[in-house]
Amino acid sequence: MSPDFVHASTRRELLGGAGVLFAWPFLPRIARAEGRDPRMLTIILRGALDGLAAVAPVGDPDWVKLRGDKALTLDGKTPALALDSFFALNPAMPNLHRMYKAGEAAIVHAAATPYRERSHFDGQDVLESGLPKPGRADSGWLNRALGGLAPEARVRSDRRAFAVGPVTPLVVRGPTPVLSWTPTRIQPASEDTMARLLDLYQHTDVELARVLEGRRDLAILARAGDPAAMAPTEGRQQPQGFPAQVRAFFADAAGTAAKFLAREDGPRIGALAFNGWDTHVDEGADSGRLATLLGALDGALAAAEKNMGEAWRETVVTVVTEFGRTARINGTNGTDHGTGTIALLAGGALKGGRVIADWPGLKNAQLHEGRDLAATTDLRAVLKGLLRDHLRVTDQALAGNVFPGSGDVTAMGGLVG
């Protein structure tokens, strides 16, 4: 397998488990001269995260008007966790809240990539490629950033890419050598995900659709024969143990990534992806499906913190998604594809304990196209700031090669210590 083993991902490949990928220790000489040994882990949430449900604008007078009894509040049935006088964190994320209070986590709100349409595949392409619009991209911004760093004096002699598992996330594909690892656990697919995949493949790949339909029907029969195997969740049924499976998968992936990054002779840059954030139906911000996913993500961050050990103080974890979701709840108690969302940052290298937002407001006239949280921060500014100040990638490289066409997007300063 050669270092330029790259290809555009197919929909069939996106069914595969999330791999964890690392670049071997290509660190800039300036970081070594400063006596630092920075690490960076990027987590992609595929499916589009509802940023308003993850970090609620409880101080906005239009918040409860917008979402009614679905709006997270500080005095609700399941109280949100106060971050400051305006924002509150989803109650499923106590570990992130603890990190935030310790100055080791921050949130960038009302953020988005330059993409303004509503296709998951195009949105993920823009997010991971770093290009201003979708297209056939053979490399990702993280790989290109690594390619611009000065190598260590001693570089791993085997420069071939090593991959285990079906998919290499686009964000880390490219000429810089990577190591790939796939968790032994497999992330369970939700019924909504299965239904959407079936609809897709019935039009494009009938044979695969039949296989998926067979697996779904077998699962339904198995649950029907065992009433105890089903547990109600916010008006909807999920297999008992589903939350535990998701938590275990997320923690396994992030925890193992941290172990690799913490090793003295290990990689310093990693990327992984978690699927399942497409919450069109019964989103359940406080006790349903989204709460399960956010709780699993919270556990993943805690696992990364624990397994990084002393290296946590020089680590930044960046959690990003392709776009947000609609500001209003839809007719099936879910949210549809939107625009503005959040970026979550964690790690001991951060100047945390703050929500960074140029808040656009939630009045109808302030929403993007009358339906979405408007994006006031370009996600590339956040990523540029981290790559420049944490890894010492130059502004010239960031604007020219890492994020082409972003010369007018200024790197966000002050994110790291």
The percentage of residues in the chain with a pLDDT greater than 70, rounded to a whole number, is 73
What DSSP designation does 135 have? Answer: S
How far apart (Å, rounded) are the C-alpha atoms in residues 315 and 416?
10
Please tell me the predicted confidence (pLDDT) of residue 29.
58
- What is the average per-residue pLDDT within 275-301? 95
For the cut 50, the answer to whether the pLDDT of residue 248 exceeds it is: yes
For the cut 60, the answer to whether the pLDDT of residue 276 exceeds it is: yes
- What is the average per-residue pLDDT within 379-408? 95
pTM of the model: 0.83
Q: Report the CATH number of the 13-184+242-402 domain.
A: 3.40.720
Please tell me the predicted confidence (pLDDT) of residue 202.
63
Confidence category of residue 264, pLDDT binned at 50, 70, 90 = confident
Please tell me the predicted confidence (pLDDT) of residue 329.
97
Q: CA of 338: how far to CAs of 37, 113, 214, in Å? A: 38, 12, 32
Q: Which one is predicted more confidently, 278 or 224?
A: 278
Comparing CA positions, the residue from 392, 408, 355 lying closest to residue 111 is 355
Please tell me the predicted confidence (pLDDT) of residue 107.
98
For the cut 70, the answer to whether the pLDDT of residue 215 exceeds it is: no
How far apart (Å, rounded) are the C-alpha atoms in residues 244 and 299?
11
Please tell me the predicted confidence (pLDDT) of residue 169.
80
Contact criterion met (CB below 8 Å) for 89 and 57:
no
Please tell me the predicted confidence (pLDDT) of residue 170.
86
Confidence category of residue 406, pLDDT binned at 50, 70, 90 = very high
How far apart (Å, rounded) are the C-alpha atoms in residues 276 and 289?
10
Q: CA of 319: how far to CAs of 43, 272, 298, 341, in Å? A: 5, 10, 11, 11
- What is the average per-residue pLDDT within 53-71? 97
- What is the average per-residue pLDDT within 283-303? 96
Per-residue pLDDT tens digits for 93-139? 999 999 999 999 999 999 999 999 999 999 999 999 999 999 888 99
Could you tell me which residues are beta bridge partners of residue 41? 270, 317
Please tell me the predicted confidence (pLDDT) of residue 235.
39
For the ranges 35-44, 321-330, 400-409, the lowest mean pLDDT is seen at 35-44
For the cut 50, the answer to whether the pLDDT of residue 305 exceeds it is: yes
Q: Which one is predicted more confidently, 114 or 164?
A: 114
Per-residue pLDDT tens digits for 171-208? 888 887 777 777 666 555 555 555 666 666 666 666 66
For 189, residues 6+ apart whose C-beta sits below 8 A from its C-beta are 197, 275, 276
Average pLDDT over the chain, rounded to whole? 81
Comparing CA positions, the residue from 102, 109, 180, 172 lying closest to residue 349 is 102
Please tell me the predicted confidence (pLDDT) of residue 241.
61
For the cut 50, the answer to whether the pLDDT of residue 234 exceeds it is: no
- What is the average per-residue pLDDT within 227-247? 53
Please tell me the predicted confidence (pLDDT) of residue 243.
85
- What is the average per-residue pLDDT within 49-69? 98
Helix (H) or strand (E) holding 107: strand 105-112
How far apart (Å, rounded) are the C-alpha atoms in residues 333 and 279?
9
Please tell me the predicted confidence (pLDDT) of residue 129.
97
Please tell me the predicted confidence (pLDDT) of residue 28.
53
For the ranges 60-64, 253-257, 335-339, 412-416, the lowest mean pLDDT is seen at 253-257
Confidence category of residue 256, pLDDT binned at 50, 70, 90 = confident
Q: What are phi and psi of 326, to 5 degrees?
A: -60, 145
Structure tokens given for 338: 């939107």
